[in-house]
């Protein structure tokens, strides 16, 4: 957007005689005034639209430092805290860290041997199960005792797997032992029942006969079948 030329009057009409009018000079002067005014109107038309500043005419970089300072945003008040979000998922288990190691250990009475050690030095009293830390580099500046005793008994673990069968042992067979003493004679047995059926038996020097056992009043005897013998006689 070109800037209009500054208007400067070229003709001083007071120099003319009172009875003379330089119309040509007046026309030229008015033409230059009109040219300058029209250029200003054209520039104003580019700067504004419907009575307000047109878009894109002035941007932030074109402003002066003072104008930029005036346009700087004013921080607002802090808003109210929002609600807590939903808990995130559990992360993966980390690597197992190194086991704790005391710098020195011994009976609690031996702790004084380490009074001059630097800050952070750790002493474990094995007779009381307590830990002590040096709080500074000053001599004997120990912390209070922290229990480091055996913990409570844990739950019973699952049974272990059955082990493999062991190798048979190797030994020497011992000599037979001496015979024991003869036992006492046993009591007479009691017959409670016998078969009463006749059975064919052979008697030496005699013919075969039939006989059957008979149990009466606890006495066992043999009964011959006489009738059968008579029937078989010649």
Domain boundaries along the sequence of the chain: 1-69, 104-147, 199-232
pLDDT at 91: 87
pLDDT at 233: 47
pLDDT at 65: 84
pLDDT at 17: 62
pTM over 0.85: no
pLDDT at 144: 94
Q: Which CATH architecture has domain 104-147?
A: 3-Layer(aba) Sandwich (3.40)
Cα angle value 19/23/27 (rounded, 5°): 150
Low-confidence ranges of the chain (pLDDT < 70): 1-7, 9-14, 16-20, 46-58, 149-153, 171, 188-209, 218, 220, 225-234
């Amino acid at each position: 957007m070109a800037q209009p030329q500054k208007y400067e009057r070229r003709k001083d009409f007071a120099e003319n005689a009172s009875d003379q009018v330089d119309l040509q000079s007046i026309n030229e002067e008015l033409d230059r005034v009109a040219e300058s005014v029209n250029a200003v109107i054209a520039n104003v038309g580019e700067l504004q639209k419907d009575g307000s500043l047109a878009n894109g005419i002035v941007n932030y970089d074109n402003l002066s430092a003072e104008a930029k300072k005036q346009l700087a945003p004013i921080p607002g008040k802090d808003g109210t805290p929002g609600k807590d979000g939903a808990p995130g998922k559990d992360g993966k288990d980390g690597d197992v860290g190194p086991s704790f190691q005391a710098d020195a250990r011994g009976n609690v009475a031996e702790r004084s041997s380490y009074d001059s050690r630097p800050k952070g030095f750790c002493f474990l009293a094995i007779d009381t199960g307590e830990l002590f830390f040096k709080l500074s580099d000053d001599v004997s500046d120990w912390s209070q005792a922290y229990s480091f005793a055996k913990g409570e008994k844990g739950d019973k673990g699952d049974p272990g797997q059955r082990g493999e069968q062991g190798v048979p042992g190797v030994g020497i067979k011992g000599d037979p032992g001496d015979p024991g003493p003869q036992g006492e004679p046993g009591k007479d047995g009691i017959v409670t029942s016998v078969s009463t059926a006749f059975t064919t038996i052979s008697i030496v020097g005699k013919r075969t006969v039939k006989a059957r056992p008979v149990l009466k009043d606890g006495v066992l005897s043999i009964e011959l079948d006489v009738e059968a013998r008579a029937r078989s006689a010649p």
